[in-house]
Homo-oligomer: A and B are copies of this chain.
Amino acid sequence: MSAIWSVMLKEEKNKMKKGAKISNAVIRRLPRYRRYLGELQKKGVDKISSNEFSKLIGYTASQIRQDLNNFGGFGQQGYGYNVKDLYSEISGILGLKNKYRLVLVGAGNLGHAIANYIGNYRTGFDIEGIFEVDPEMIGVDLNGVIVTDYDSMVGFVESRKTDIGIICTGKESAQEVADKLCFAGVKGIWNFAPVDLEVPGHVAVENVHLSDSLYSLVYHINKKESKETKETKESKESNS
C-alpha cells in the first residue's frame, strides 16, 4: 500500500468514526459489496473501478460511490478501489472481524438447514447449543452439536455469554423463546418464525420473513408480464 493511500485511508477512517448516521438501506447493501469483493479476491483481482464494480454488482457507479462515501470512500481517483482493503474495511464496519457465539432453538428441518449452513459456510459464527422441546430430537447430533432440552437453554446462554439466538421454532412459540433469550442476555436475535418479535431496546432483531421475499418475487413476475403484454400490444399496433 502506498504511503499516500495509507494516509488517505486513515483520514477517511477518522471521518467515518465521526460520521453521520448510516441509513439501513446502505447497511443492507454492504454484505452484498463484501460478497462480490470476496469473489474478486478469490479470482485474484486486486483493484476495481466503480464502473467495473457497477457492471458486476448491478448498482449504478454513482450509487456505489455514494454508498462507500458513507464510510469514507476507500477509493482513489484514477485508481479505483483496492479489493482486499475494501473487503477488509467492510468486514470491520459490519463487525465480522469479531467472533460470535450462537444458540439455535428449534431443531426441525429449518433448524437443521440453518445449523448446516452456519457450520459449513460461516466462519466466525459458532453454534454452541441447539435446543428443542421434542423428546425425539433431544440427543441427536446436528453438525457436531448435540440437541439439548429447551429447559436448559437459559442457563446455557447465561453461562456461555451467548451473543446471538437463532429462532427456528413455529410462530406460536417464537415470542416466548425470544423473551427467554433476552432474559438470558443475548445481544441479538435472528428470527425465522413468521412473526414480528417484541424485544427490549438493547437487543437487535433481524427477521427473516420468507413470505415477504416470495411476495416480492410474485409482484415482479406480474409486473414483467404486464410490461410484456403491453409491449406485444404496442408492437402489434405499430405493425398494423
Contact = CB atoms under 8 A, between A and B. Distances in A.
Query: Chain A contact residues: over half helix, strand or loop, or mixed?
Result: helix
Contacts of A31: 209, 211-212, 215-216
A55 B188 CA distance: 22
A163 interface: yes
A209 B125 contact: no
Given A32-B209, A113-B110, A224-B202, A218 B121 contact: no
A28 interface: yes
Contacts of A202: 224, 228
Interface residues of A, number: 58
Contacts of A189: 217
A34 B219 CA distance: 13
A110 B117 contact: yes
A22 to B, nearest CB: 9
A187 interface: yes
Given A31-B209, A215-B96, A216-B28, A204 B188 contact: no
Contacts of A110: 109-110, 113, 117
A93 interface: yes
Nearest to A207: B213
10 contacts: A31-B211, A31-B216, A32-B212, A58-B196, A110-B117, A112-B113, A113-B113, A114-B210, A164-B218, A187-B221
